[in-house]
Structure 1
Amino acid sequence: MQMTSNSTVKKYLKAAEDAADEVQRRGKHILPTVSRLLLLSTYLEDGVRMLTHWSMQANYVSREWNVFALLGHLFVLINMICQLVGSGLVLARVQVPIACAILGGNTLMQIIVYKIIFEDFSYLLRLVAITGGLLLLYVESQNEGRVVFGGLPSISENKPKRWLQLSGRLLLVLMLVSLVRFHEGLDILVSLISLIAAALIAIGFKTRPVALGAAVLLFVLNLFSHPFWSFTEKHLEMLRDFVKYDFFQTLSAVGGLLMIVAVGPGDVSLDQRKKDW
């Protein structure tokens, strides 16, 4: 009975791995583009939000930090420029490392200015997870297989890249950890699936199929958990903005998971160890 159960699990794991490889193979040109767009969606949405909610954001900063109104407006301006310019550079594939640094620095600035580290731990996890996606975006932008000595491949390993890829993977799974809520029924099931997926992606085991499955799960949950389009009444406009922000944050994490499918787990993973063996 135990052998039959193990055989069934292996069969499903193999089917999932084949499906992920097929997605990666067929979408090798479009998958990185889609993952980049999704990953940047929260920065694009929030950059536009800074413009449309300028006074509200500036007043919040000046009130919370007890500073001159001019500094509040300066923060909103810097926030908007960093997010829109950084995203634009990535989408144009121009100076991507610099763009990733700009977006990462902007995320850190938001954590400090909005005092997120002291107020909402789950929200903090989501922001940090998105910075993991930025690390993977940086890795994806780097040229692989550099050649030396008249076309002979270099045998030296790119150690910074492998550790950046690992760090991006570890940070990104924090989005799955933020879903953990052992309340009742479906919440418990989703929490267990999220924790298992986070653990497998973190150690790099069956990374592509697990990341693909987690991306699909996160996308579906996002549609049901953050339906900002349903808040049509005027008095619910502020609530709609909060839900909309959460929606695009989660969408960015979906993009990060798809980036894992596109670039793979990297050298520091069990998947790579299996290949080496």
Structure 2
Amino acid sequence: MSSRISIARPQGPSYSPDPHGIGNSRPSSGYRAADPDDPLEKIRAYSKQIEDNVEIWSQPARPHLPAVGRFLIVVTFLEDSLRIVTQWSDQLWYLQKHRHFPWGISHTFLLLNVITMLVGSGAVIAKKQTEFAVAGLLAVVIIQGFGYGLIFDLNFFLRNLSVIGGLFMVFSDAMVSRKKLFAGLPSLSENDRRKYFLLAGRVLLIFLFLGFVLQGSWSFGRMILSIVGLAACTMVAVGFKAKWSASFLVIVLSVFNVFANNWWSVHSAHPARDFLKYDFFQTLSIVGGLILLVNMGPGGLSVDEKKKNF
């Protein structure tokens, strides 16, 4: 009799074996993962796919990026020390005639600059006593600004802010390896300091491009480049797609540097040659800072890092 009893199915929505979509057959990345009706999701999927490809293809170069970045950051100091030595008499004449340095003080000023730049640059490249090397090179940037009377020159000021940003990136890179020395101690404060140095480095690095926007004559091409470059600078500053935007700025600044600061095409007796040479090597230093940013990432105080927590 029990076989005659039929169990009535409840009326209502149809039964789904996977109500939460856990067994979704769509791939987790790429174009097919996007909702075909949501263009923003398509863009995000394409962006993620490109990021993955860039990450794969850049793997062979990644072990060399820190060394290349550190060398480029200090290359402006190496060039400056060489220029002081090869133009020693001209440098003394300028300091004594225009900056009113007493005899002897001008010699000491130049000698201390050369020694600090050479020793500090060598230490940064070799990753030896990096903290003291960065402090010495920072002191050179500040002292030269006052010594040569360029501290109130807007172009000089913005460029040197970017150089300081590159030095902060070197210091942040050194803090990564320094944590190993204190493995048995709490490292929270060390990590926090590194976050703030990375943030300061990111923000300061973009000032070179701001200087480029503020000077020179305007054209349609320059306007487009400025808009795109400022967007990339903003992304670097806030740490959104920081590796992408930093890589873009590396390419743009490198191309711009070769064509705009081509000092090698100017006659050696022309006064503009030294200025172009100075700008060329300073831009290389800022490119080095951006390369370190590409290698290390934007750090904890960034949109990219916050997105990982959600």
TM-score by length of 2: 0.80
CA contact (8 A) 1:136 1:164 kept: yes
Match of 1:115 among 128, 133, 149: 149
My pick for the range that moved more, 174-183 or 243-252, is: 174-183
Counterpart position of 2:202: 169
CA contact (8 A) 1:180 1:191 kept: yes
Counterpart position of 1:245: 278
Report the Cα offset of residue 126 of structure 1. Answer: 0.6
CA contact (8 A) 1:20 1:261 kept: no
CA contact (8 A) 1:17 1:208 kept: no
CA contact (8 A) 2:99 2:148 kept: no
- Which amino acid in 1 is paired with 2:169? L
My pick for the range that moved more, 103-112 or 155-164, is: 155-164
Report the Cα offset of residue 255 of structure 1. Answer: 0.5
Q: 1: CA distance between counterparts of 2:199 and 2:261?
A: 30
Counterpart position of 1:156: 188
| Aligned CA distance change for structure 1 residues 12 and 256 (closer, same or farther; 3 Å) | farther
Report the Cα offset of residue 23 of structure 1. Answer: 5.9
Q: Deviations over 1:191-210 (max 9, x none)?
A: 11221111100000000111
Counterpart position of 1:206: 241
Report the Cα offset of residue 27 of structure 1. Answer: 2.6
SS of the residue corresponding to residue 290 of structure 2 reads helix
- Which amino acid in 1 is paired with 2:122? G
Report the Cα offset of residue 7 of structure 1. Answer: 5.2
CA contact (8 A) 1:19 1:209 kept: no
Q: 2: CA distance between counterparts of 1:129 and 1:23?
A: 29
Between structure 1 and structure 2, the one with the greater Rg is: 2
Counterpart position of 2:160: 127
Q: Does 1:87 align with 2:125?
A: no
Q: 2: CA distance between counterparts of 1:13 and 1:56?
A: 53
| Aligned CA distance change for structure 1 residues 12 and 78 (closer, same or farther; 3 Å) | farther
Q: Does 1:190 align with 2:199?
A: no
Q: 2: CA distance between counterparts of 1:135 and 1:189?
A: 30
Q: 2: CA distance between counterparts of 1:259 and 1:271?
A: 16
Q: 1: CA distance between counterparts of 2:95 and 2:83?
A: 15
TM-score by length of 1: 0.89
| Number of equivalences | 270
Q: Deviations over 1:48-89 (max 9, x none)?
A: 111001111121112222232322222111111111111011
Q: 2: CA distance between counterparts of 1:8 and 1:201?
A: 23
Q: 2: CA distance between counterparts of 1:260 and 1:85?
A: 24
User: Which runs of 5 or more residues in structure 2 are unaligned?
Assistant: 1-36
Q: Does 1:265 align with 2:298?
A: yes
Q: 1: CA distance between counterparts of 2:247 and 2:100?
A: 45
CA contact (8 A) 1:24 1:31 kept: no
User: Which runs of 5 or more residues in structure 1 are unaligned?
Assistant: none
- Which amino acid in 1 is paired with 2:252? L
Q: 1: CA distance between counterparts of 2:130 and 2:63?
A: 18
Counterpart position of 2:253: 218
**Aligned 1:230-241 pairs, distance under 5 A:** 230-231=265-266, 233-236=267-270, 238-241=271-274
| Aligned CA distance change for structure 1 residues 22 and 257 (closer, same or farther; 3 Å) | farther
Counterpart position of 2:29: none
Larger relative contact order (Cα-Cα within 8 Å, sequence gap ≥ 6): 1
Percent of pairs with identical residues: 33
SS of the residue corresponding to residue 229 of structure 1 reads helix
Counterpart position of 1:14: 48
Q: Deviations over 1:62-117 (max 9, x none)?
A: 22222323222221111111111110111122111100000011001111112222
- Which amino acid in 2 is paired with 1:57? Q
- Which amino acid in 2 is paired with 1:156? L
Q: 2: CA distance between counterparts of 1:187 and 1:208?
A: 24
- Which amino acid in 2 is paired with 1:276? N
**Aligned 1:21-60 pairs, distance under 5 A:** 21-22=55-56, 25-60=59-94
| Aligned CA distance change for structure 1 residues 106 and 155 (closer, same or farther; 3 Å) | closer
Q: CA RMSD in A?
A: 2.3
CA contact (8 A) 2:99 2:149 kept: no
| Aligned CA distance change for structure 1 residues 22 and 255 (closer, same or farther; 3 Å) | farther
| Aligned CA distance change for structure 1 residues 267 and 183 (closer, same or farther; 3 Å) | same
Q: 1: CA distance between counterparts of 2:54 and 2:154?
A: 32
| Aligned CA distance change for structure 1 residues 235 and 47 (closer, same or farther; 3 Å) | closer
